[in-house]
Amino acid sequence: MTLERSIAPPVEAWRHRGFTAPRGVTATTMITVYLVLLFAVPSNVTLGPLGSVGRPALLWGILLLVWWVLSRLQQRTVDARPVWQPIRFAYAALVVVALVAFAAAMLRGQPADQVSPAITALLRLMSWGGVLLVAMDGVRTYYEATRLVRWLVVVAALASVLGLAQSFTGSSLLDWVRSFPGVSVDLGGVDSRGDFTRASGTATHPLEFTASIVGVLPLAIATAIAGGYRSATRRQALLWWTPVALIALVSMLAVSRSALIGLVVAVVASVPGLPKAYRWVIGVAGLCGSMIVIAAVPGLFGTVLSLFTNAAGDPSALSRTNALARVPEFIGASPLIGQGFGTFLPRYYIFDNQWVLIAIELGILGLVCFTALIVAAMWSAIRASRRSPYGETRTLARSIAASVATLAALFLFFDGLSFPISAGLFFLVMGLTAAIRTIGEADKALFDADTRLQGLLDKDPRGGAPAAGGGAGRTTGQGRKVQDER
C-alpha cells in the first residue's frame, strides 16, 4: 500500500541556530568553498610565510569554526526542532583527549622539531571541527544537503579526470602552480607500479587521492539515482552517472590494493541502501564495466591479480603486517593518553594505519573517542534513514553511512588524518551524518503533523483547506511527494 501526501520542506538552512550570514551566503556556500580549496588546490601548496599551517583549506576550516562560534553566541531563536547529536559529544571528547595529550607531551619535554608539528596537528583538528560543526548545524533541509553532496560529487569527478590525465601522460600536470608568487610548493608528482602510472591528482600521495574519491563513490551513486535532483531531461539525469564511472575507472587504474578494497567496500556498503530496482543494475553494470576496462587495458588484470597473490612477499604489505608487532612498544610509554597528537613523526616508524596511529598518539582514550565518532556518525545516518518517510532522504542517508564505512575501512591501510584531502573529507562526511539526522527528524515531524491535520479534515470535510504551511510549522518552497511504503 502506498500513501502519497504533499508536504512542504523545512525552512532554509541558514535561518537555523543563528546563522545570520549575509544574503546569499549559507552554510552550504561556505562548505562548498572549502571543498574547492580542498580538492582543487594541491595539498602541498602553502602560503609561504605561514609554513605548514598555510594550506588554504586548513585556514578556511578555521574560519568556519570562528563563524560557527559567533553564530552560536548571537543565536536568539531556534527555528529547527532541536535534535540530540551524539557526534557532537564524540568530537568534543576527542578534542579534550588531544588537548590533555598535548599538555602532557609538552610537560614531558619534546625535541624542538616535534613541537611545531604538535601545534599544527591541534590547528588541523580545530579546522576539521569547523567543517564538521558548520555542516551539522548549518545544513538543515534536504535540498541544502543534496546541493552540498552534488558539489562534492562534482569536485571528485573533476579530480578523477585529472587523475586519468596523469595516468595517461605520466606527468603531474601541476608544475605551473610553482609560478604563483608567495606560495611554497612541494608537489608529490606521480608514482608508478609495474607498467602503470599511479595518479595522485592534487593529493600528496596516490593512496590519499584514491581513498578520497572512493569515499565519495556512495554519494555519487545516490546522486545518480536521484536523477541529478530531478533534472529536466533524461539526458541530464544520465549525466550524473558519469562521476560514478569516472571514480570507478580511476580506482581500477590506480593499481592499488587499498583502492580496490575501498571500491568493493563502497559498492557493498551502498547496495543495501539502494532502491531494489537499482541493486541488480549497479551489480551487473559494475561487473560489465570492470570486464571492459580489463579488456581495454593490456596487462591490468595480471598486475592487479599479482597485488593479492604476491602480497606475502610485497614490501608494502609486509611493512603493514610487521608494524602491528611493534604497536605495544610505542603504546607502552603512555597507554592512556598517548604520546601527543601529531608528535609521532615518520622518522620513528610508518604504520600506514590510522587506527594504530590514533592509539599511539592519543592512547586508549583517544582510540575510544575516535571509534565513538565513527559509530555515532553511522548511527545518525542510519537513524535518519529509518525515521524519514521520504525515499530520497532515506537513500541519501544510507549513502552517507556507506561513505563513512568506506573511509573507516580505508583508514586501516593508510594514516588518513595525516593527509589534508582525506582528513577534510572524513570530517565533512561526519558533519553530513549529523545534518541528515536533523533532516530525517524534521521530515518525520512534518509528515506526522500533516497526517494528523489530514485526519482532522477527513473527519470534518466542512472545515475547509488549511492555510499554506498550516500544521507543518513555518515552511517555504514547493511541496514534494512522499512515498510511505508499508
Are the CB atoms for 206 and 213 separated by under 8 Å?
no
Q: Give the contacts of 32 (CB within 8 A, at least 6 positions apart).
A: 148, 151
170 dihedral zone (left: phi>0; alpha: psi -120 to 50; beta)? left
CB-side neighbour CA atoms (13 Å) of 10: 28
| Mean confidence (pLDDT) of the chain | 79
Phi/psi for 213 (5° steps) reads -75, -30
C-beta neighbour count of 84 within 10 angstroms: 9
Asked whether the beta carbons of 410 and 113 are under 8 A apart, the reply is: no
- pLDDT reported for residue 420: 92
The whole-number pLDDT of residue 402 equals: 95
Q: What is the pTM of this model?
A: 0.84
Distance in angstroms (rounded) separating the CA atoms of residues 455 and 446: 14
| Beta-ladder partners of 2 | 485
Percent of the chain with pLDDT over 70: 77
Identify each DSSP E strand in 195-249 by its residue range: 196-198
User: Which among 273, 277, 282 is positioned nearest to 385, based on CA atoms?
Assistant: 273
Most confident of 109-123, 147-161, 169-183, 201-215: 147-161
- Say yes or no to pLDDT of 22 above 60: no
Domain spans of the chain?
28-66+87-439
| pLDDT for 233 | 61
pLDDT digits (tens, 9 = 90+) for 356-402: 999 999 999 999 999 999 999 999 999 999 988 888 888 999 999 99
Distance (Å, rounded) from C-alpha 127 to C-alpha 182? 22
Closest by CA position to 380, among listed 211, 139, 144, 212: 139
Residues 454, 436: Cα–Cα separation, whole Å: 26
Segment among 120-124, 200-204, 410-414 with least mean pLDDT: 200-204
Q: What is the pLDDT of residues 231-265, one digit of tens each?
A: 556 677 778 889 999 999 888 887 778 888 888 89
72, 81, 83, 140, 430 from 78: Cα distances, Å: 11, 7, 11, 12, 23
Angle 49-52-55 from CA coordinates, rounded to 5°: 85
Q: Is 324 exposed, middle or buried (0-12, 13-18, 19+ CB in 10 A)?
A: exposed
For residue 179, pLDDT over 80 is answered with no
Q: Answer whether 229's CB lies under 8 Å from 151's CB.
A: no
> 143 near 392, Cβ under 8 Å?
no
96-124: average pLDDT: 89
Give the list of residues 6+ apart from residue 185 with CB closer than 8 angstroms, or none.
42, 44, 45, 177, 178
Instruction: Determine contact, residues 259/204, Cβ cutoff 8 Å.
Output: no
